[in-house]
A and B are shown apart, each in its own frame.
Chain A
Amino acid sequence: MWDYTETVKDHFFNPRNVGVVENPDGTGQVGSLACGDALKLTFKLDDQGKIADVKFQTFGCGSAIASSSALTELIKGKTLEEAEKVTNKDIADYLGGLPEQKMHCSVMGREALIAAIENYRTGSTEAREIPEDILCTCFGVTESEVRTVIQENDLHTIEEVTNYCKAGGGCTGCHSEIQRVLDSCTGRQTPQTEKPTPVTTTAAQPLTNIQKIKLVEKTLDEQVRPALQTDGGDIELIDVVGNRVIIALRGMCAQCQVADFTLRDVVQARLREFVSPDIIVQEQKK
């Protein structure tokens, strides 16, 4: 049994704001039955543009339901601009923390919120694609978000970036990526991407690119593909650029709306374990 906090249990057993808001201003749906997690979020705004009512329906485990409940409590009374700033980390913090393997439940909450706001603004009912330029996978921060905080706040160090948007505050695997964005923002163009600085100290010799590609292929073959194939999916290696591994998901996985969690929790985790701790996995742009 998972080690859930009392707050998680409370929000699971006594979920707040379950249901669907009548005539909602915005509706967001993410996840799918195939992936075992899905969330539908609806909200209504008041005269001041604040979220007057918000409700959720969730298909998922205990922490998915608790995360959804927490999200609704967090954003109630906020303007959309304020609500947009709620991160998956905020949801997890509100619940007193989530087990590592369950962090994706809080990510799903955030995705549903963004999708609902998108729906309000553009009328799009498409489930919003998870941004493809995720830079910090621990906190789900995109490269454009990092760029924004750097430019808006005149940031110069990785530490500052972490303090402003949390990017790089988890596994630290994206520090070389943050440095690259910092450099490009401040006009210091350096070929850093090709030579990522390993942030963990390992005695291993740096791999040549060919060695790295071979090791990536081997790891995907042995550690990743069998698991995906069991569920009718598959994975294809497209390219390895520096510490970025670009892959394409096939079969069931290709249609899966929360494939990003597979990418991060399975593919990236395995590659970091067996190839290099600074590997960043990205899906080929469709």
Chain B
Amino acid sequence: MKTVYLDNNATTAVDPEVLQEMMPYLTELYGNASSIHNFGGQLGKKIDHARQQAAQLLNCHPTEIIFTCGGTESDNTAIFGTLARYPDKKHIVTTRVEHPAVRATCRQLQQQGYKLTELPVDAQGRIDLDQLQDEITDNTALVSIMYANNETGNIFPLKRIADIVKDKGAILHTDAVQAVGKIPIDLAQLPVDLLSVSGHKLHAPKGIGLLYIRRGTRIAPFMVGGHQEFSKRAGTENVPAIVALGQACQLAQKHMTDENTRVKQLRDQLEAGLIKTCPNSRINGDPHARVPNTTNISFEYIEGEAILLQLDRLGIAASSGSACTSGSLEPSHVLRAMGVPFTAVHGSIRFSLSRFNTQEEIAYVLEKVPPVIKLLRSMSPFSPENSPNEILTS
């Protein structure tokens, strides 16, 4: 059975063109770019080329990009590296809906004595910009706010956020892992200082990412022990993955229109179809500011893992914010922060598309999902048809 893969916010397929581009560097061209001999040294040019490809997607200068091993390293580098350069400032501002790579890192720093402000979000998942302005003080070293949320797809107003943060004189980092490749980003017009990108979210392989560091931004290296990446990130360059990320960035630019038209239409079609055929369902997030590939839908009265297991058997891959899928007893912190009722959090399913999805696949999902929802609801004590008068809530 062919898998209908609708979990692209978790990871994406490596684009065949990307794979083809990186193959030589996994086979015959295995040199070390730092070597004097040409066999290795020639690879430096390839790395430069990849840096240019990435810079073009983000509209920044190539020297403002350092390659890392992924989004998490980029986030950690941005946070720890900034704080190390501003030892007198002890305050961090972030949001309650960040990815754990930022959230857990900031909470660890809080334990070490930093003051941490996690901005709340409203029911649509939006922060209050006035509150952001009020929270930043002279003691604030860093503001870290994601570009797009991984669970809901919500896009944060980074331009307005950047204007506020820069006006206050703090450093601004954004985790753009879920935004890059999905929506156009123009760093010439967007005054963020640091921006994280993950390769495997835009059809490059896992284990590669990049951190954009605006020229003039003071940052301490997170990995030390070598001169690579302008002495900002030590370690022998992962040439095949860097080449792959460069190619993936170029392809992302090429497919940007497709992503925001055809893929968006598929998402909208899927979302509207499910809401129509499955009563007691709701969309989580801000329908007016979302990346084009993501929809997060809560199917009330049933539990996410049970839905996913049924979908898995039908060859449909998605993910859920329910507690049971996480391995912990905690349901999605993002949906909880948005005040989504428990009833809806446990039955939340995220479908995230990519340019490789087709009309036929969406039609298949629209045909298969409603009976699954109906079946599970027929087994639930909370379904209105099963317990008209006795809803157990606590």
**Interface size class for chain A?**
35 or more
CB contacts (< 8 Å) of A222 on chain B: these are 111
Q: How far, in whole Å, are A101 and B325 apart by their CA atoms in the complex?
A: 11
- Interface residue B75 (Cβ < 8 Å from any Cβ of A): no
Q: How far is the CB of B316 from chain A (nearest CB, A)?
A: 13
Contact A65 B346 (CB under 8 A): no
- Interface residue A191 (Cβ < 8 Å from any Cβ of B): no
Picked from A31, A227, A266, the residue with its CB within 8 Å of the CB of B392 is A31
CB contacts (< 8 Å) of B343 on chain A: these are 33
Picked from A31, A36, A59, A127, the residue with its CB within 8 Å of the CB of B331 is A36
- Interface residue A210 (Cβ < 8 Å from any Cβ of B): no
Those of A34-73 within 8 Å (CB) of chain B:
34-40, 57-62, 64-65
Which of B301, B313, B331, B346 has its CB near the most chain A CB atoms (within 10 A)?
A: B346
Contact B381 A29 (CB under 8 A): yes
Q: How far, in whole Å, are A65 and B111 apart by their CA atoms in the complex?
A: 40
Picked from B313, B329, B382, the residue with its CB within 8 Å of the CB of A33 is B382
Contact A59 B336 (CB under 8 A): no
| A266-B380 contact in complex given A32-B392, A38-B392, A61-B322, C-beta closer than 8 Å | no
Q: How far, in whole Å, are A37 and B197 apart by their CA atoms in the complex?
A: 37
Q: How far, in whole Å, are A96 and B61 apart by their CA atoms in the complex?
A: 59
Q: How far, in whole Å, are A1 and B111 apart by their CA atoms in the complex?
A: 32
| A39-B381 contact in complex given A13-B313, A61-B303, A62-B309, C-beta closer than 8 Å | yes
Q: How far, in whole Å, are A266 and B328 apart by their CA atoms in the complex?
A: 9
Q: How far, in whole Å, are A189 and B313 apart by their CA atoms in the complex?
A: 58
- Interface residue A15 (Cβ < 8 Å from any Cβ of B): yes
> Contact mask B256-287 → A, CB, 8 Å, 1/0?
00000000000000000000000000000000
Q: How far is the CB of B106 from chain A (nearest CB, A)?
A: 12
Interface hit among A85-93, A200-208, A253-261: A253-261
Q: How far is the CB of A174 from chain B (nearest CB, A)?
A: 22
Those of B358-384 within 8 Å (CB) of chain A:
378-382
CB contacts (< 8 Å) of A23 on chain B: these are none
| A40-B342 contact in complex given A61-B303, A61-B305, A222-B111, C-beta closer than 8 Å | no
CB contacts (< 8 Å) of A39 on chain B: these are 381
Contact B327 A101 (CB under 8 A): yes
Contact B380 A58 (CB under 8 A): yes
Which of B312, B322, B330 has its CB near the most chain A CB atoms (within 10 A)?
A: B330
Contact A262 B329 (CB under 8 A): yes
Contact B336 A36 (CB under 8 A): no
Q: How far is the CB of B114 from chain A (nearest CB, A)?
A: 15
- Interface residue B302 (Cβ < 8 Å from any Cβ of A): yes
Q: How far is the CB of A150 from chain B (nearest CB, A)?
A: 33
Q: How far is the CB of A133 from chain B (nearest CB, A)?
A: 23
Picked from B111, B310, B336, the residue with its CB within 8 Å of the CB of A231 is B336
- Interface residue B323 (Cβ < 8 Å from any Cβ of A): yes
CB contacts (< 8 Å) of B330 on chain A: these are 227, 230-231
CB contacts (< 8 Å) of B378 on chain A: these are 18
- Please give me the residue from chain B that is nearest to A256 by CB atom: B394
Contact A40 B379 (CB under 8 A): no
> Contact mask B98-120 → A, CB, 8 Å, 1/0?
00000000010001000000000
CB contacts (< 8 Å) of B381 on chain A: these are 29, 38-40, 57-59
CB contacts (< 8 Å) of A127 on chain B: these are 392
> Contact mask A249-286 → B, CB, 8 Å, 1/0?
00000011100011001100000000000000000000
The 8 A-B residue pairs whose C-beta atoms are closest, nearest first, are: A61-B324, A61-B305, A40-B381, A57-B381, A32-B394, A255-B394, A34-B342, A62-B309
Given contacts A12-B309, A32-B393, A59-B346, 4 further A-B pairs with CB under 8 A are: A33-B382, A33-B393, A34-B394, A38-B392
Residues of B bordering A, CB below 8 Å: 107, 111, 301-306, 309-310, 312-313, 322-325, 327-331, 333, 336, 342-343, 346, 378-382, 386-387, 390-394
> Would you list 5 pairs from A and B whose C-beta atoms are within 8 A, ordered by A residue?
A33-B346, A33-B392, A36-B322, A61-B303, A266-B329
